[in-house]
């Protein structure tokens, strides 16, 4: 797990919220190795040598659009360039090593950008698309409540693993996938066509990315349980092959 930058009272911190760590331990059955992103990527190979999988979480920051050839259309939104500079090469190196990858929200967008895809910087301004942002004034349990359905591809491994094709998810993102990178495959979509899940069967034995937040109250959500269990199983398979 890579951490993110945050400033508190003039001091830079590396942080990771409990909500992402707990389901990794309790549902996936994994031991988290939290990796700082503030020291560059020189030690990336050493971290990966210790890992059975890579877990990329959401965050309050956006990816610097320079990484996908655009100028910044949301200058009021925070960025985390240290995480960009660590996670993008991390993703490519993990794929080269055939390590399982699980990306959530920002993590999903990172995978797409790392492999050459692009992002809608203002998803809510795109004609015909829903506003996928949460209400910042609402209580946190409302922000993370069901917002819209996702439909996964019929007959896909994900539909089989979940035991269903349609389910409701939360929605807390102002940005989303525009052009999908080569090698990635759409697994699930929102009613407006926004990509909500993808995998990469040509690139990785296990790569799953979702745009919603399955970590929220994960133990109470059968879909979340299935996703984290699938990632944990993939990590254990990887470890057994060492």
Phi first, then psi, for residue 132 (nearest 5°) are -90, 10
215 classed as catalytic = yes
> Does residue 110 carry a catalytic annotation?
no
Distance CA 236, CA 163 (A): 22
- Whole-angstrom CA distances from 145 to 76, 96, 181, 238 are 26, 37, 30, 34
DSSP-derived 3-state class of residue 90:
helix
Catalytic residue among 120, 132, 173, 213: 213
The sign one gets for the Cα dihedral 153, 131, 142, 218 is positive
Choice among 110, 134, 196, 215 that is catalytic: 215
CA distance 41 to 5: 15
Cα–Cα distance for residue pair 68/119, rounded to 1 Å? 8
Distances (CA, A) of 73 to 28, 60, 90: 37, 16, 26
Burial class of residue 137, CB neighbours in 10 A (0-12, 13-18, 19+): exposed
Does 141 qualify as catalytic in the annotation? Answer: no
Catalytic residue, chosen from 105, 120, 173, 196, is 105
- For residue 137, CA distances in Å to 134, 140, 211 come to 9, 9, 22
User: What DSSP element (H or E) covers 143?
Assistant: helix 140-143
Residues annotated as catalytic are 105, 213, 215
């Amino acid at each position: 797990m890579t951490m993110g930058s945050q400033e508190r009272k003039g001091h830079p911190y590396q942080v990771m919220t409990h909500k992402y760590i707990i389901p990794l331990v309790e549902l996936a059955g994994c031991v988290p190795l939290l990796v700082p992103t503030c020291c560059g990527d020189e030690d990336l190979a050493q971290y990966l040598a210790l890992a059975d999988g890579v877990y990329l979480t959401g965050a309050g920051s956006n990816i610097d659009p320079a990484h996908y050839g655009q100028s910044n259309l949301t200058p009021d939104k925070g960025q985390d360039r240290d995480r960009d500079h660590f996670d993008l090469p991390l993703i490519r190196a993990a794929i080269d090593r055939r390590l399982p990858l699980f990306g959530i929200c920002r993590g999903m967008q990172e995978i797409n950008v790392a492999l050459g895809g692009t992002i809608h910087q203002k998803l809510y301004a795109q004609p015909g698309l829903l506003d996928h942002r949460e209400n910042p004034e609402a209580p946190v349990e409302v922000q993370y409540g069901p917002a819209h359905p996702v439909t996964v591809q019929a007959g896909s491994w994900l539909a089989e693993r979940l035991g269903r094709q349609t389910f409701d998810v939360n929605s807390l993102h102002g940005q989303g996938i525009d052009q999908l990178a080569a090698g990635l495959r759409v697994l699930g979509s929102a009613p407006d066509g926004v990509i909500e899940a993808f995998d990469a069967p040509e690139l990785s034995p296990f790569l799953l990315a979702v745009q919603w937040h399955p970590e929220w109250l994960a133990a109470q959500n059968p879909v979340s349980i299935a996703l984290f269990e699938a990632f944990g199983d993939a990590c254990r398979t990887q470890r057994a092959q060492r």
